[in-house]
Chains A and B, each alone.
Chain A
């Protein structure tokens, strides 16, 4: 009797994705930035995440985890695809790609130092295990608690906390090593 009922549900789901875009675009962008170590591409990739979500939302089913968890999984996939495509070479451009800032406004050597530190952070993060990187990226980028991160990754909160601690510990060691060299 009702015209095209399944169609309407799909439309509602798409509207939900559009709403999620407004609230979560920044977080997804930051998450991707941490994952790929590059801010300049993060914004475009973040849009890509939501476009993909829109395309596949027809098959999305409410399962208990909130929709944002699903979106972050898509973000994870896109980050992974991107890194694979780039061949995991170190980013050619430093994180804070604002060349003029390095020249003006203070001590040039200092800002260079800073850029190097940032670079080291990137590389350090990249050397973590995939799981550790995921946890850290979600924690740093998306403003989620450990419980929420657990939902995205399909793990227990306790496990997430362990991985988090381990990731931070390892990152510290990696950075110390690099700092020496």
Chain B
């Protein structure tokens, strides 16, 4: 019996606190327990009300800043731990300082030196002026004072290295490629280190830059690799592979940093082909590939998207100059950084005889950033290095250790879109979008309040529509950098008959209201009269106020003089939806007739008090407003559970006292 009551009580608590039902509703559901339930539920209702404060935005912002500070400190600590040993001897402090000094000297001595610096622009590793070029870059970098500025400059220099590699490859200067490659990697490492110090909009902007830069650089490197003369082909391939890796990691790191601002776009198409390698001395190399996946960045650490699950077999040798189709899939558009698949088995045919092939590790995971655009197709080419992938083992066995390059098929000299900023590249950080559905709890000059949260509506309201308290609306909004919600589209769904968040003791709208306070031992605290709204409960400008509303009260403190028993009717439950919108019917008391031109001292609307108290206007000291759940960011569509506690409305002012 005890147990059963415990469960019933628990269920009623859920109803009360999480589903916004009233004490009466609970009692009606369990009439046989009503006597025991009632005092307990009223107690809890009161307690919930007591603790139902909404922390101020300022407090939350302060906390947010503390968190960001802390994050920065922790990341820097990690960075220092990691970066103890210099990765590339070329960049030891000594050399740098020397190079900078030389550049400075040149600047002064040789007629301003700009001529020389200028001349060094086209220098590549191996040229005498290359050192000057690098030194000039260092000097320039030293004048970059912001973290994001430094990062962007490093990215720009990485792109330069790419061009140099292209030139070197073209000219067959294979031995020099590594030098440029090492420098490129160092630039990306520095960019990554700078990323650690960024957050919010800066991180988002930088992530966009990284994605664009990766695209440019890797495109150029791929081009170089594809058209490389034999002498420098290997070096080009290595440069391409290591750069893919480095860009991929930098992009992922940037995306994680800016993760709450990355928007996944609509679907695009990914096609994957395999292209043939130079043939090893066998007749056929059959390879079965399964489980192809691609890694999409965004939403925290990103996720793996399945491209293909069915195994596909193809002959590495048969596809001379022809692309062998591996997979095609419609996938979310965005920035991808990795591709992985499994080679499940392989067979080799020599002189008509099948030989088994051992595949020690069939799992192939490659870092290669690529972008899939909404509605477009991206083509990936898997370039298997046949010579190095397949080796003999023992008498007649073979071993396959797949060595694969991922190439992105470059469009035929398509023009790049004019301004990167204007075109919303899918998958790169943008402001976060949310959907909100709920009842309008209050209407203010700044916007409307739903579930205790202010949503700036401004021009998003359809013309001719006036938002009123009690309406159910569906809103598409974006979350600004400062955490404000700005509506993009507002859709009115109708009137809210169900009244979520109603106080347990709130009388039904058309009932006679008792003059005495409600039965609950807890009575709403008077709120600050300064919170008396100076604004009509209507929406911002375009919409004409509903004629039935009272004109705004003066800012003078009207209330105290009014009513001995009155509690300022400005206590506003953001989630208490009022009854039917035909609210201001003439109040029962004949004397309460506010003459419209002479402003009524208080917007007392007898049946409802949906006066406006946006939480944001509340004074720094917390005023008990009603609890409202916050909208959880990761979910794209938000329909917050109805959960507000309960606020008994203030008693009606007695007639005589109003005037």
Query: B-contacting residues of A (Cβ < 8 Å)?
Result: 1-4, 7-8, 10-12, 14-19, 21-26, 29-30, 33-34, 39-40, 42-44, 46-47, 50-51, 54-55, 95-98, 100-102, 104-107, 110-111, 113-115, 117-118, 121, 125, 136, 139-141, 143, 145-146, 158, 161-162, 164-165, 168-169, 171-172, 175
Contact = CB atoms under 8 A, between A and B. Distances in A.
A172 B39 contact: yes
A98 B621 contact: yes
A100 B13 contact: no
7 contacts: A12-B301, A17-B67, A18-B67, A19-B260, A30-B51, A161-B10, A162-B6
A108 to B, nearest CB: 9
B108 interface: no
Contacts of A172: 39-40, 43
A139 B13 contact: yes
B152 to A, nearest CB: 21
Contacts of A113: 523
Interface of B: 2-3, 5-7, 9-10, 13-14, 17-18, 39-40, 43-44, 46-48, 50-56, 59-60, 62-64, 66-68, 70-71, 74-75, 78, 82, 189, 245, 249, 252-253, 256-257, 259-260, 300-301, 521-523, 525-530, 557, 559-560, 563-568, 619, 621-624, 627, 629-634, 641, 643
Contact of B527 (A12, A34, A105, A117): A105
A54 B67 contact: yes
Contacts of A114: 522-523, 525
Given A54-B67, A164-B10, A172-B39, A104 B78 contact: no
B522 A39 contact: no
B55 A46 contact: yes
Given A105-B559, A164-B10, A165-B9, A25 B55 contact: yes
B50 A121 contact: yes
Nearest to A136: B47
A138 B373 CA distance: 46
A96 B522 CA distance: 13
A139 to B, nearest CB: 6
A19 B3 CA distance: 38
A14 B78 CA distance: 13
Give the most central of A50, A106, A161: most B CB within 10 Å.
A106
Contact of B51 (A1, A25, A34): A34
Contacts of A55: 70, 74
Contact of B566 (A23, A96, A106): A106
A118 to B, nearest CB: 5
Given A33-B53, A47-B67, A104-B557, A54 B633 contact: no
A8 B621 contact: no
A151 to B, nearest CB: 15
B55 A26 contact: yes
B256 A30 contact: no
Given A21-B64, A143-B17, A164-B6, A117 B74 contact: no
Given A4-B82, A26-B630, A117-B521, A43 B528 contact: no
B630 A23 contact: yes
Contacts of A98: 525, 527-528, 619, 621, 623
Nearest to A37: B51
A50 B63 CA distance: 8
B110 to A, nearest CB: 40
Contact of B48 (A118, A140, A162): A140
A165 B6 contact: yes
A104 B525 CA distance: 11
B246 to A, nearest CB: 8
A121 B46 contact: yes
Contacts of A169: 40
Contacts of A105: 526-529, 559-560, 567-568
Contacts of A106: 526, 559-560, 563, 565-568
Given A118-B50, A168-B40, A40 B9 contact: no
Contacts, number: 217
Contacts of B62: 47
A146 B18 contact: no
Contacts of A30: 51-53, 55, 627
Contacts of B567: 105-107, 110
A39 B525 contact: no
Contacts of B301: 8, 12, 15
Q: Please list the 6 inter-chain residue pairs (A to B) with the smallest Cβ-Cβ separation, ordered nearest first.
A: A47-B63, A43-B59, A105-B568, A105-B526, A161-B6, A29-B55
B5 A165 contact: yes
A175 B43 contact: yes
A10 B77 CA distance: 12
A51 B51 contact: no
Contacts of A54: 67, 70-71, 74
A101 B17 CA distance: 27
Contacts of B67: 17-18, 21, 47, 50-51, 54
A3 B82 CA distance: 10
B432 to A, nearest CB: 10
Contact of A164 (B13, B43, B50, B52): B13
Nearest to A24: B630
A149 to B, nearest CB: 10
A107 B256 contact: no
B53 A22 contact: no
Contacts of B559: 104-106
A1 B241 CA distance: 12
A118 B528 CA distance: 18
Contact of B256 (A15, A101, A143): A15
A33 B52 CA distance: 9
Contacts of A100: 528, 530
Contacts of A165: 2, 5-6, 9-10
A18 B63 CA distance: 10
Give the most central of A44, A95, A114: most B CB within 10 Å.
A114
Nearest to A171: B43
A106 to B, nearest CB: 5
A133 B619 CA distance: 30
Contact of A107 (B564, B623, B629): B564
A121 B522 CA distance: 10
A22 B633 contact: yes
Contacts of B619: 98
B86 to A, nearest CB: 14
Contacts of A145: 14, 18
Given A29-B53, A47-B67, A101-B623, 8 more contacts: A11-B256, A29-B59, A30-B55, A104-B529, A106-B559, A117-B522, A141-B51, A161-B10
Contacts of A111: 525-526
Given A51-B67, A106-B526, A111-B526, A140 B47 contact: yes
Given A8-B256, A12-B301, A54-B74, A33 B10 contact: no
Contacts of A8: 252-253, 256, 301
A37 to B, nearest CB: 9
Contacts of B565: 106-107, 110
Contacts of A3: 189, 249
Contacts of A107: 564-565, 567
Contact of B56 (A16, A19, A43, A96): A43
A24 B527 CA distance: 26
B60 A7 contact: no
Contacts of B633: 19, 22-23
A178 B131 CA distance: 84
Contacts of A34: 47, 51
Contact of A42 (B55, B78, B523, B629): B55
